[in-house]
């Protein structure tokens, strides 16, 4: 979502999602009510109250899957959520540790711990704004003569309540966060070398010496594919403690599991593909053990249709989602969001004309040849959409740029 405006326009001209929220807000026509529904009913009413959910997005190439993910992520961020998005072309899906570490790397772990430390300051009846910049809470208390034994004990009690006695946190994750938050507060003191070791362990660095971790009170274990989901639950809880209502995770291009081109750098063998399907299956089965988190996986519809390499080739996963694909009518609560079915509902003649005008306006900032389309042309595009392999959104972009 960090692309600048000019880059976003360039991506639009190539038929790709812009990755810029200003542009997305300008050109998104039709899907806005549905994204608003997801934002209200799922994110704000369900996920923020401790719920968890997995949804899937499918459709033909150019049907707007990536655009939808980016727009949903932007709306989630506007509601205070942490939105993490990446492509399955860049991150291995057969090992959940890779997924977890990618999510962790895109979150502000240090910032969350600092905000948790701020909660401790508040619980003790003090105001963070009163603490001079660069000074720890403990030093501030010492300076005003209030860092006594009882206050130190209360700081430790608050950290213990927040982390160590929290049933939603992995014990090692909780200990690490407690020590880091204590270091941020200035009590219990944490040496810089120990802080570095804790951060390296949290980020799955294999060079961390387990004896060093043991000396800090952690069990001598590493983050693996087997405990990564528990670590993700801990990360979501840390965000909740820091005042964040939840985490939205979007994973695009999941069809890379079964299909690849000469331009792709990642290849999935049959064994790795099976492991990836199993990893998603395990996530579905364990999603209720997570809190304040939502996953959205996106893939080309051929991943559904292909019985040899697609989802149907791994029955344990297919059995958990197949009942969702039963109707040509679009259900807003569906766990399989079919962009082709949704498109038939939202891309009316009026919507297509408006979309073309908005696209022309945005693309026109860098291309004087961009133009909108007429109502008659929009009607023709709709009538022919059932017989062409190109989705309506992509057809609109091509038509807007026809004279460029």
267-303 confidence digits (pLDDT tens): 788 999 999 999 999 999 999 999 999 999 999 999 9
Per-residue confidence band for 392, with pLDDT thresholds at 50, 70 and 90: confident
pLDDT above 80: residue 121: yes
Rounded mean pLDDT of 358-385?
79
Sign of CA dihedral 114, 118, 123, 126: positive
Per-residue confidence band for 61, with pLDDT thresholds at 50, 70 and 90: confident
Q: How many CB atoms lie within 10 A of CB 75?
A: 23
Distance CA 155, CA 177 (A): 14
Alpha helices in 218-372 (DSSP H): 228-241, 270-286, 302-305, 315-321, 339-346, 349-363
pLDDT above 90: residue 382: no
Which structure tokens are listed for 27? Answer: 């050109």
Length of the chain: 404
CA-wise closest residue to 90 among 282, 225, 253, 297: 253
- How high is the pLDDT of residue 264? 61
3-state secondary structure of 90: coil
Could you tell me what percent of the chain has a pLDDT over 90?
70
Rounded mean pLDDT of 24-36?
92
Rounded to a whole number of angstroms, the distance between the first and last alpha carbons of the chain is 27
Per-residue confidence band for 9, with pLDDT thresholds at 50, 70 and 90: confident
DSSP string covering 320-342: HHGGG---SS--TT-SEEEHHHH
Per-residue confidence band for 362, with pLDDT thresholds at 50, 70 and 90: confident
Sign of CA dihedral 46, 47, 51, 55: positive
Which structure tokens are listed for 404? Answer: 């460029």
Q: Give the position of tokens 């026809």.
A: 402
Among 2-16, 36-50, 390-404, the range scoring the smallest mean pLDDT is 390-404
Distance CA 137, CA 156 (A): 13
Rounded mean pLDDT of 397-403?
78
Which pLDDT tens digit goes with each residue over 297-348?
A: 999 999 998 999 999 999 999 999 876 545 567 889 999 999 988 988 999 8
Kind and range of the H or E element at 52?
A: strand 52-59
pTM surpassing 0.85? yes
pLDDT above 60: residue 367: no
3-state secondary structure of 115: helix
Q: How far is CA 346 from CA 58, 187, 386, in A?
A: 16, 57, 15
Distance CA 362, CA 18 (A): 11
């Amino acid at each position: 979502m960090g692309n600048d405006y000019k880059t976003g326009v360039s991506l639009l001209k190539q038929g790709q999602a812009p990755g810029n929220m200003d542009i997305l807000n300008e050109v998104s026509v039709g899907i806005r009510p549905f994204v608003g529904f997801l934002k209200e009913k799922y994110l704000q009413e369900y996920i923020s109250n401790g719920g968890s959910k997995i949804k899937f997005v499918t459709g033909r190439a150019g049907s707007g899957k990536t655009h939808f993910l980016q727009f949903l992520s932007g709306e989630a961020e506007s509601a205070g959520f942490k939105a993490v998005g990446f492509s399955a072309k860049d991150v291995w899906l057969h090992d959940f540790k890779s997924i977890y570490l990618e999510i962790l790397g895109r979150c502000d772990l240090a910032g969350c711990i600092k905000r948790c430390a701020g909660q401790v300051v508040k619980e003790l009846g003090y105001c963070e704004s009163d603490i001079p910049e660069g000074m720890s809470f403990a030093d501030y208390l010492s300076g005003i003569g209030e860092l006594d034994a009882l206050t130190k004990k209360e700081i430790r009690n608050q950290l213990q309540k927040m982390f160590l006695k929290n049933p939603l946190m992995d014990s090692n994750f909780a200990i690490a966060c407690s020590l880091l938050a204590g270091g941020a507060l200035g009590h219990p003191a944490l040496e810089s070398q120990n802080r570095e070791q804790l951060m390296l362990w949290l980020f799955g660095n294999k060079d961390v010496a387990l004896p060093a971790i043991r000396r800090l009170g952690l069990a001598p274990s590493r983050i693996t594919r087997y405990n990564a989901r528990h670590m993700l639950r801990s990360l979501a809880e840390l965000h909740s403690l820091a005042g964040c209502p939840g985490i939205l995770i979007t994973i695009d291009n999941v069809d890379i599991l079964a299909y690849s081109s000469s331009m792709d750098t990642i290849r999935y063998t049959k064994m790795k593909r099976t492991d990836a399907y199993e990893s998603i299956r395990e996530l579905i089965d364990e999603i209720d053990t997570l809190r304040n988190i939502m996953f959205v996986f996106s893939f080309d519809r051929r991943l559904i249709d292909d019985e040899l390499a697609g989802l149907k080739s791994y029955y344990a996963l297919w059995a958990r989602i197949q009942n969702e694909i039963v109707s040509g009518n679009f259900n807003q609560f569906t766990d399989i969001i079919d962009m082709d079915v949704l498109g038939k509902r939202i891309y009316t003649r009026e919507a297509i004309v408006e979309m073309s005008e908005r696209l022309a306006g945005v693309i026109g900032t860098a291309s004087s040849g961009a133009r909108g389309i007429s109502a008659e042309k929009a009607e023709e595009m709709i009538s022919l959409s059932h017989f062409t392999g190109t989705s309506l959104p992509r057809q609109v972009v091509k038509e807007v740029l026809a004279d460029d």
